Amino acid sequence: MLTNVEIQKIIPHRYPFLLVDKVLELEPGKRAVAIKNVSVNEPFFQGHFPGFPIMPGVLIVEALAQTAGIAANADTEGGAKLGVFASIDEMKFKRQVVPGDILRLEVEILSMKMGIVKAKVKATVEDKVAAEGEIRFAMTAVKK
């Protein structure tokens, strides 16, 4: 299991855009399972939507991508690398995610070739699928 502090050693995301709270399972280069505790205090809920807060689908995909980045980056040396989106394929949204939900983020790395990572991703709440599909991203060094 990885804590939030340990996650920040693997990927460069920081508040308010770090969307992974804890990693429950990790097989570097292969798979990861993480969680995002969805709180009403998230800044995006102010406008999405007043009186009817729903986590934006794009942020669910981002949380999945960050989890995939952790899986792809966990055993590399030389500091955190940034995963930059290349494609999102056949992403389906099947359930709304609202404050109080615990979003379970599951990723399986399908391939890592020439710096391009392809992953099968799924987000669930209480064992019900909220979103699933495939993503691709390019790993790039973070400039300081």
Name the catalytic one among 31, 48, 95, 122.
48
C-alpha torsion sign, points 6, 98, 25, 64: negative
13 is an active site residue: no
**Residue 113: partners with Cβ closer than 8 Å, 6 or more residues away:** none
Please state, in angstroms and as integers, the Cα–Cα distance from residue 83 to each residue in 37, 53, 72, 118, 135, following that order: 22, 28, 9, 11, 11
The arrangement of strands across the sheet holding 102-113 comes to: 22-27, 31-37, 102-113, 116-125, 128-141, 81-93
115: Cβ contacts below 8 Å, ≥ 6 apart: 138, 139, 140
Active site residues: 48
